[in-house]
Homo-oligomer: A and B are copies of this chain.
Amino acid sequence: MSIAAAPGPRVILIKPQLGENIGASARAMLNCGLDDLAIVAPRDVWPNPKAVAMASGAGAVLDRARVVDTLRAATGDLHLLYAATARSRDMIQRVLTPRAAALEMRAAVAAGQRVGVLFGPERSGLTTDDVAEAQAVIAVPLNPEFSSLNLAQAVLLVAYEWYQADAVAVPERFDPGDSPPAAKQGVDYFVDRLERDLDAAGYFPTEEQRPTMRRNLVNLLNRARVTQQELRTLHGVVQHLAASKRREKL
């Protein structure tokens, strides 16, 4: 199982209650190229079979997880620590979105630092003492009337933004399947043929309307970036629909 070359942030789960959430967090981490998991004082016995079941292929992350008794044991070697929490505290804190934090973490890692993110127990979240251990808070901008995230969902969003911040992601690409796009001349040939068949079928009400109607069809085909295979399909469609018309003329 390959991991991004640069060491990503450590995910630190404090007193997680449900094995399912630990497993789902491991899966979300590996989805985003992360494999450094620390678990502080889990409620249930470790290894946890429910965590393994939910990890669904990311078992290696669980196998390598450090299970420790105290927060300090999980964070001692880190240079930059964030606390993921939605609640505001009676405490001065920088509060970053996951996206802004990801950029900051990328810069820190590039500078040779080690970084991590704290996540609290499902029911109660991080204590204010836990938050005080961090240099900054990560808060996910969400529906203010329903902002409580499942633990593994919170891990996913932080890990996802880390992965996207790599800037290798292309926002849009064009998947041509196995059929190459048609060359312009193929489209032109089809449109000319269609126009002849439509002429024979009495399609164009007036000569004035012909250019517009033709352009609408050309535009539709070009916009779709029609493939060679699709042009063959369209030729077949027109051929069959128009066949009897031609026979009529013979």
Contacts and interface: CB of A to CB of B under 8 A. Distances in A.
Given A146-B31, A163-B141, A216-B233, A177 B89 contact: yes
Interface string A183-225: 0000000000010011001110000000001001100110111
Interface in A139-157: 140-143, 145-150, 152-153, 156-157
Nearest to A229: B216
A170 to B, nearest CB: 8
A224 B223 contact: yes
A108 interface: no
Contacts of A143: 2-4, 30-33, 163
A142 B32 contact: yes
Contacts of A221: 224
Nearest to A226: B220
Contacts of A129: none
Interface stretch (A9-17, A43-51, A94-102): A94-102
A23 to B, nearest CB: 10
A27 interface: yes
A124 interface: no
Contacts of A164: 97, 99, 141
Copies in the complex: 2
A91 interface: yes
A134 B145 CA distance: 32
A77 B137 CA distance: 42
A211 to B, nearest CB: 13
A127 interface: no
Contact of A96 (B57, B172, B227): B172
A71 to B, nearest CB: 21
B94 A174 contact: yes
A153 B220 contact: no
A241 interface: yes
Interface stretch (A62-70, A111-119, A242-250): A242-250
Given A56-B150, A97-B170, A141-B169, 17 more contacts: A1-B146, A24-B150, A30-B143, A30-B146, A92-B227, A94-B174, A94-B175, A95-B174, A97-B169, A97-B171, A100-B172, A141-B164, A152-B153, A156-B157, A160-B160, A213-B233, A216-B230
Q: Please list the 8 inter-chain residue pairs (A to B) with the smallest Cβ-Cβ separation, ordered nearest first.
A: A224-B224, A241-B241, A100-B171, A141-B169, A201-B240, A203-B240, A244-B245, A91-B177
